[in-house]
Amino acid sequence: MKRNNIIDKIIDNDLIPENSVVIIGLSGGPDSLCLLHALDRLSDSYDLTLVPVHVNHKLRPEADAEADNVARICDRMGLECSMFESDCEALAKELRISTEEAGRQLRYEIFDEIAEQVEDQGVPEEKIYIALAHNADDQSETVLFRLLRGTTNHGLSGIPAVRTSEAGYSIVRPLLNVTRAEIEEYIEENKLHPNIDKSNNENDYTRNRIRNELIPYLEKNYNPNIKEVLRKFAALSFMDDTLLTDIAFEECDGRLNIDHDNNIVMLDLDGIKDDPPAITGRIVNIILQVLRLEQDAGYELVTGLMSLMYSDNPSARMDLPQGFIAYREYDTLIFAEENGEQMIKPDESLRMIPQVMMIKDYDPPEDTIFAAFDFDSFNRDHPGRVGEIRLRTRREGDYLPMKSGSKKIQDLLVDSKVKKTARDSILMVAIDSEVLWVLPSKYFSGRQEQEKGRFSPKYHISETTERVLFIEIVDDI
């Protein structure tokens, strides 16, 4: 294997051990193509299994052509690329966030779903890595962007080289100490043909203006090494933040009670109120990360919560982003969703229509909410019982068949982070205690479950399927 500077840096970073499965976020642009190509050259000596993943957000006219180019690149390298399409504009509108942020959320959810599939195939979790192609210039731009927007010291530590995903998998960034210029040189040397996102040259987004206007201005008029200065600043901030966060975790030991089922965090303030602000600020950051509010962790929010900690008012309260509140109950600080324990009811207007059809007649409309199974496989297990299939909410003993074994519906809802107050609103198609389909719901954490739900793999349609059990959900209103 021919070595070069980038491959040497990836080896020196030591972020990906030998004999690992590496899920690579592959836009097809210069950065991700460089990462894929470099890891492919390392794959034999390191015994790596590469799983490229491309997400087409369909935001630009050339998006489909770029997806085709990604598929060709992987095909030439002998790799199978997992291709996805997503509607991040709809998610951005729903969550009232930018399309850029919506796309980021969707990509990370897809990476976790692929990692879960790899683990289901028998690969240990600790052998699965999600590799992203953020580079050294991205680090500089991120630090400057956060500084201008307003952030905490934690935010100024920049993009971490290693972190854990929502589902518990390791996310690594092997190119974080590789400059954009080095990547462009690698692309040219290896005669690669990446996708070029022309929107990166447009200044519609703040980050693009920082890259195309502000940093060149600072390089010309203030410091030609400004990008390196920002990276060093991030590295030093990371050292300080890591130490203070470790101390904050120690202070939380025995004082922090997290109820993941109900999205409630309770902090015993006894003793913590005597800690210096540098520690209490990190404790606030820890709690915001638990509640997945870290994107909102600016100066006002963090200092406001610190004031709530120190307040003499034993029933002080503060509204938080995304429908959360924080309030005092004497020496306990509680973070919870504003609707508290109010139970959410199922949609009683929905009705199920099961029918059996020949495979040649199976052509569901795009706007239909449906599930489809191999009828003959189902009928072997439940002969003559199609009429006993029911649309209902969960019952004790319900389970969903998996590729190996089965999973209790209770465990499925917990793992999918469905809050306790919404679990009895989730509808499912079942026969006896066997669940065929958990219907989609906005209360699932994963985008795939929100849009499609969860299906039993036991009666999957295959090439040998002759008859289809088609289950359609209609709204009677």
Q: Report the CATH number at residue 304.
A: 3.30.465.60
pLDDT digits 0-9 by tens, 445-477: 788 889 889 999 999 999 999 999 999 999 875
What pLDDT was estimated at residue 1? 47
Domain that holds residue 64: 5-221
Which of 337, 371, 387 represents a domain boundary (last residue)? 337
Residue 164 to residues 131, 169, 170, 403, Cα–Cα distance (Å):
12, 5, 5, 26
Q: Write phi, then psi, for 267 (nearest 5 degrees).
A: -120, 120
pLDDT digits 0-9 by tens, 138-177: 999 999 998 888 787 888 899 999 999 988 899 999 999 9
Residue 277 sits in the same domain as residue 215: no
Residue 408 sits in the same domain as residue 312: no
Residue of 96, 95, 129, 97 whose CA lies nearest to 112: 129
126 belongs to a structural domain: yes
* Dist CA 435 CA 67 (whole Å): 36
Residue 127 sits in the same domain as residue 196: yes
Residue 78 sits in the same domain as residue 148: yes
Residue 281 sits in the same domain as residue 309: yes
Per-residue pLDDT of the chain (477 residues; tens, 9 = 90+): 455 789 999 999 899 999 999 999 999 999 999 999 999 999 999 999 999 999 988 878 888 898 999 999 999 999 999 998 887 777 777 766 777 777 888 899 999 999 999 999 999 999 999 999 999 999 999 999 988 887 878 888 999 999 999 888 999 999 999 999 999 999 999 999 998 877 677 776 788 899 999 999 999 999 999 999 999 999 999 999 999 999 999 998 888 888 877 778 999 988 888 889 999 999 998 888 888 787 777 888 888 999 998 888 877 888 888 788 898 877 889 898 876 545 688 998 999 999 999 999 998 887 889 999 999 999 999 999 999 999 999 999 999 999 888 999 999 998 887 877 788 999 999 999 999 999 999 888 788 889 889 999 999 999 999 999 999 999 875
Which residues have a Cβ under 8 Å from the Cβ of 404 and sit 6 or more positions away?
A: 120
CA 329, chain centre distance (Å): 34
243 belongs to a structural domain: no
Type of residue found at 356: V
Judging by DSSP bridges, how do beta strands 428-431 and 434-438 pair with one another?
antiparallel
Residue 214 sits in the same domain as residue 108: yes
| Domain total of the chain | 3
Which of 314, 337, 360 represents a domain boundary (last residue)? 337
Residue 49 sits in the same domain as residue 136: yes
CB 287 within 8 A of CB 320: no
Beta bridge partners of 83: 54
Residue 419 sits in the same domain as residue 332: no
Residue 331 sits in the same domain as residue 279: yes
191 belongs to a structural domain: yes
Beta bridge partners of 268: 332
